[in-house]
Amino acid sequence: MNPNDIDELLNSEDSSPNEDTARYLAHIERKLYEEIAARKRLDSGVLFLVCQLGSVSLSWFLFTLQISISLIVATCIICALLPGLIDAGESFNFELSSERWELRHDKPLIALCKLGIGGVISWHSTRKISTAVVQTNLAIKDTYAEIRTAESLGKGFQFQGLELLLAVVVGLGLIAFNSLKNKGNSDV
């Protein structure tokens, strides 16, 4: 049977399609829906992975651009939680009728897992950056404290006056040495 014969059987009003044709068309339709569902799952998985990797790399990228830490955390959390929020929104159903209302979620475990994984990944990546910023601030404060301590010790010894006195003594010593040397050469 060629494709034109199938079209003729379906388009003719007086003849009904035979069982084989109906079964074949049902098989094709089921296969198409299965492929669409598989592609949707694959797209969802790819989106999930891209968002998680994007969240981690985005946090470090924004950090190198010296963006505020609160903006880095907010951006990374939104990026990491996006697939879970999309999944929760797509499979969430609310039905209201005059008799009752119904709240359903087709795949709550998958949505919760995506939200949980996204939350953990964003928290982990931004925690490292936050820790690095806090440690850097503490190191800067310690360095300033050491500088202030060294400056306060230096005021008691007057290093600048001591250096000037040492330079004058060395200069006078060189002048005296040169004059002694010149006197010794003129006596000969």
As to burial, measured by CB atoms within 10 angstroms (0-12 exposed, 13-18 middle, 19+ buried), residue 69 is middle
pLDDT for 26 equals 86
| Residue range 8-21, pLDDT digits in tens | 656 655 555 577 78
- On whether residue 42 sits in a domain, the answer given is yes
- On whether residue 185 sits in a domain, the answer given is yes
Do residues 13 and 65 both lie within one domain?
A: yes
- On whether residue 147 sits in a domain, the answer given is no
Write down which residue in 98, 125, 152 finishes a domain: 125
Do residues 170 and 80 both lie within one domain?
A: no
pLDDT for 184 equals 64
| Residue range 127-172, pLDDT digits in tens | 888 888 889 889 999 999 888 887 776 555 555 667 778 888 888 8
Q: Look at the chain and report how many structural domains it folds into.
A: 2
Do residues 85 and 172 both lie within one domain?
A: no
- Among the residue ranges 44-53, 86-95, 121-130, 140-149, the one predicted with the least confidence is 86-95
Round the average pLDDT of the chain to a whole number and report it: 79
Do residues 77 and 165 both lie within one domain?
A: no
- On whether residue 178 sits in a domain, the answer given is yes
Do residues 42 and 118 both lie within one domain?
A: yes
For helices 69-90 and 108-157, the axis angle rounded to 10 degrees is 180
| DSSP letters for 93-154 | EEEE-SS-EEEEES-HHHHHHHHHHHHHHHHHHHHHHHHHHHHHHHHHHHHHHHHHHHHHHH
Q: Which helix (H) or strand (E) holds 37?
A: helix 19-64
Do residues 172 and 109 both lie within one domain?
A: no
Q: Are 89 and 108 in contact (CB under 8 A)?
A: no
pLDDT of 175 over the 70 cut: yes
- On whether residue 22 sits in a domain, the answer given is yes
Do residues 168 and 76 both lie within one domain?
A: no
Tokens of 65: 């651009």
Do residues 114 and 185 both lie within one domain?
A: no
Do residues 169 and 108 both lie within one domain?
A: no
| Residue range 54-69, pLDDT digits in tens | 888 887 788 778 778 8
- On whether residue 142 sits in a domain, the answer given is no
pLDDT for 138 equals 92
- On whether residue 165 sits in a domain, the answer given is yes
Q: Which domain holds residue 183?
A: 160-188
pLDDT for 150 equals 78
Do residues 7 and 83 both lie within one domain?
A: yes
Q: Which helix (H) or strand (E) holds 92?
A: strand 92-96
- On whether residue 143 sits in a domain, the answer given is no
| Alpha carbon distance 113, 44 (integer Å) | 13
Do residues 110 and 185 both lie within one domain?
A: no
Do residues 188 and 112 both lie within one domain?
A: no
Q: Please give the residue that has the higher pLDDT: either 184 or 50.
A: 50
Q: How many CB atoms lie within 10 A of CB 180?
A: 10
Write down which residue in 110, 125, 140 finishes a domain: 125
